[in-house]
Amino acid sequence: MKPAIILGALLGALGWTDTLVAQPPSGATEMPRERDYSYIYDMLDHSLVRPFTRVFDPALLLRKVVGRPRQAANVGENDQVRLPSTWWQPRIGFRPVTVEQMMKGPGSSAGPAPGKWTVTKAKTQGVTPGFQIEDSKGDRFIIKFDPTTFPELTTSVDVIGSHLFWAAGYNVPHNTIATFKAEDLALDKDATFTDALGKKQPMTPEYLTQLLDRVARLRDGTYRCLASRFISGKPLGPFEYYGRRNDDPEDLIPHELRRELRGLWTVCAFLNHADSRGPNSLDMWVTENGRSFVRHHLIDFGSILGSSAIGPRSYVTGTEYYVDFNVIGQQAATIGLRPFDWERVVDPKIASIGFVEGRVFDPAGWRPDYANPAFDERTERDIRWGAKIVAGFTDEHIRAAVKAGSYSDLRASEYLTQVLIQRRDKLVRHWLGPDYRVPYDTR
């Protein structure tokens, strides 16, 4: 017995159990355990540890030398994602998606219904204040706000992101811009918030007033917010961009070998989603059509485009990782005399946009804030797959999505539209060539 345990532990530590233990691809019957992981460790691991393990990985080195990277494992003969998938659905770029379909895509209804919003809980995670509500129809939403010094910055991009990522084929929450007056809010009798010491406290009207004091108010006395509809199902925590969820019998492909996640790089480059990391994802246990299973979502688009959730994105965003050994090496070798590409950018100085641009944007070299394991494994075929999705966005799609961000400054919406068109064109031209056309009629 003991040798078996030791052998099992050793094999586990060496990562060999996947090879030896086959799991049947039957449907899930039991709900997988809810899980979470350290977000700081996630960043440290992918920024500092994994780059070294990749450099000293002889198998990876050999693959590089012979020019044979490991390709995505869930593609068919025509290099497309094998379907059905609980991660992704073929939409824009592969099928016609009208502007109207895109705008209704993430959810058929609008935001919270008019009438009293009952506050049930204050949002304790994230950098901006927020709370959870139940509208007059009983639908539940997460309410989030903009940083006071950057009105419209994060709420806009969260809505834009939900439409564009939905159209790209991913599962996302339904986000809308909403406004309310303080008197529209009612406190649920069991409403709670978590205090600074981590203790749950009953939410009082005074606390709600204090929370609203931290939020910018519009000229007419209303508050602008992002209303994010609760995703249906039971939350199981974030997924990771590598490995598998071992207690989900339908999760048999290591995530870094999934085309949908590798090819997501191109869509993230398009939308400057530098915060594309595991913690901004959510697995849900859903029961539909008599079947219970895990559905995988991308969430929290408050840090895409020009927003970093608490302010504008840095000029550096998208050009390097937080700790980028390649860039560090180049800079050290040239004692800093080589100018960074981002030093040529022009900041539009529009508070509601933050910082995002398309002129200096490098369609081949875009990087998230820190390395994403699925992106690291991407091959040219994965990128081109993602580029086809990006190519599917017409100017009208982009205009409509930006319009959903409800910018009060016309300059902002026009600038963002032009930037997105510019980034799309660069990506498509670079990865698919200047003559690429989507394989369906876009009229």
Partner 1 sequence: MHFWSAFAATCVWVALMSIDAGAAVETAPANPSLLAAADTTRNRTSAPATEAGDLAVTSDVPWNPPRALSRRHPWEQVLQFPGRIVTVPISALGYTVEHGLFWMEKTSFVTKATFAARDLRGRAGLSVRPASLGDRTGLGGTIRMDTPFFGGALKNRVSTELSGSTRKYSGVVVTVKGEPGLLEYGQEWRPQDRFYGLGIESVRDSVSDYATQSQFARARLRWTWNQEKREEPRAAFAIWAGTRNVVTRNGRGDGTVSYHVRFPDLGAATLDRHVEHFIYGTSLASDWRVGEPHWSQGWRVWLSAERYDRPIHPLALRVGQPRGAQFTRYDVEVETGKSFLRDPRTLRLLVRMTNQEVSSGGDRFLISDLPKLGGREGLSGFEAGRFHDLDLLATKISYIFPLVGRLELDVHTEWGAVHSNVWEDLKFSTLRNSFGVALRGRLKHTPFGSIGVDFSPEKTRLRFSVGRVE
Of residues 121-180, those binding partner 1 (CB under 8 A): 171
User: Residue 58 or residue 221: which is nearer to partner 1 going by CB?
Assistant: 58
Note whether 45 binds partner 1 by CB under 8 A: yes
Phi, psi (deg, nearest 5) at residue 331: -70, -40
Choose the binding region for partner 1 from 80-88, 115-123, 127-135, 267-275 (rule: CB under 8 A). Answer: 80-88
Q: Is 430 exposed, middle or buried (0-12, 13-18, 19+ CB in 10 A)?
A: middle
**4 or 346, CB closer to partner 1?**
346
Among 16, 204, 213, 395, binds partner 1 (CB under 8 A): 16
For position 286 contacting partner 1 by CB under 8 A, the verdict is: yes
Smallest distance from the beta carbon of 209 to partner 1, in angstroms?
Answer: 21
* Binding positions for partner 1, 418-437, rule CB under 8 A: 432-433, 436
**Touching partner 1, residues 185-204 (CB under 8 A):** 196-198
And the tokens for 109? 């209804």
Q: Does 64 bind partner 1 (CB under 8 A)?
A: no
Among 31, 39, 179, 310, the residue binding partner 1 under the rule CB under 8 A is 39
Among 168, 185, 227, 257, binds partner 1 (CB under 8 A): 257
Task: Work out whether 95 is an interface residue with partner 1 (CB under 8 A).
Answer: yes
Q: In what order do the strands lie in the sheet with 223-229?
A: 175-180, 223-229, 140-144, 130-134, 117-122, 185-194, 200-202
Please, are residues 333 and 326 in contact by the beta-carbon 8 Å criterion?
A: no
- Burial, 269: exposed, middle or buried (Cβ in 10 Å; 0-12, 13-18, 19+)? buried
- DSSP H helices in 144-263: 153-167, 205-213, 259-262
Give the span between the Cα atoms of 146 and 353, in whole angstroms.
12
CA distances from 134 to 129, 156, 214, 223, 371 (A): 17, 22, 22, 17, 37
Q: Which residues pair with 194 in a beta bridge?
A: 200
Judged by CB under 8 A, the residue of 3, 56, 100, 183 near partner 1 is: 56
Out of 139, 188, 250, 362, which residue is the one contacting partner 1 (CB under 8 A)? 250
| Given 107, 320, 350, 374, the residue binding partner 1 (CB under 8 A) | 320
Site for partner 1 in 214-243 (CB under 8 A): 242-243
Position 210 contacts partner 1 (CB under 8 A): no
User: Kind and range of the H or E element at 190?
Assistant: strand 185-194
79 binding partner 1? (CB under 8 A): yes
